[in-house]
Amino acid sequence: MSEPKGKTLQLNVRLKSSESSAHPLATNYTNVGVAQGIAYVDFGFIEPALLGAIAKTAKDGQAAPKGLEGHLVTRGAMGVDVLARLHQQIQQVLVSMRDARQGELKT
């Protein structure tokens, strides 16, 4: 069965949480890498106090550390086509937020 190219079908999707995904996890760091046509999206967490200390160090003219350690919260693996759809969804969210903010500034 072939799918028409360039046509988007909108469906309502409900994802049921599993025990491990029932609660959102905080992340403040992401990294995307692609290998063999699969995109790997790492979501991590770096202690905010550590980030603040590094920013202060750099502001004071001192040498910043060569690296730092954080915690890997989760890794998602997806085809590049799914990554492209994720990009579209993120763009839609950001545009909606920008438009809402501009609407608030006008009133």
Query: Which pair of tokens denotes residue 69?
Result: 């350690």
SS3 37: coil
Look at the pTM and tell me if it is higher than 0.85: no
Cα 9 to the chain's mean position, in Å?
Answer: 24
Contacts of 78 (CB under 8 A, 6+ apart): 38, 39, 41, 86
- Nearest CA-CA partner of 29 in 86, 88, 70: 70
pLDDT digits (tens, 9 = 90+) for 50-95: 988 888 888 888 888 888 889 999 999 999 999 999 999 999 999 9
